[in-house]
Structure 1
């Protein structure tokens, strides 16, 4: 299941996670972000238990976006052991996102 990350749960759910975490930085008004939404939803189901996958709204949580230098959206950051493992900017195909997840596993 796709998670919703916020400033309140980011440390617990992302930085302290025992498994890799993919965070999709998005905004409701962003067209390419909306194109990525079904892909993120599918991947969340397929990788359940192996990778945490969720979204972080940059308008509602600007501090996290600034902290990780998210300048344009969508941006997907994979965290592993509390550190940034990889960062992809822009809309990607499901296959590209799966490759990035595969490298983190």
Structure 2
């Protein structure tokens, strides 16, 4: 994932979803993320990062479990959470950065 830094350096919020194909909770979050993106449109970029294929990036951000969500604004990490999160809470976090 060569363009990771370029993507998270946008001046709009960028939500990074660290996931794994084998992860049940990650699969449960997929429709939630789609709804958030559909609701917020161009106000947010959502980037999915497979930890098995991008171990270096996951390690750099101390991702210990999946799913882990990290919200960036202007290249700075502004929020991080591991585990499931509701659509309402996720939208709230994105809109408040």
Cα distance in 1 for residues equivalent to 2:94 and 2:81: 11
User: Is the helix fraction higher in 1 or 2?
Assistant: 2
1:11 aligns with 2:11: no
* Runs of 4+ with >4 A deviation: none
Cα distance in 1 for residues equivalent to 2:86 and 2:43: 20
User: RMSD over aligned Cα, in angstroms?
Assistant: 1.0
Quote the residue 2:80 is aligned against: 87
TM superposition shift of 1:18? 2.0
TM superposition shift of 1:54? 2.3
1:20 aligns with 2:13: yes
1:46 aligns with 2:58: no
Quote the residue 1:35 is aligned against: 28
TM-score, structure 1 as length reference: 0.87
Question: Structure 1 unaligned runs (5+)?
Answer: 1-6
Question: Structure 2 unaligned runs (5+)?
Answer: none
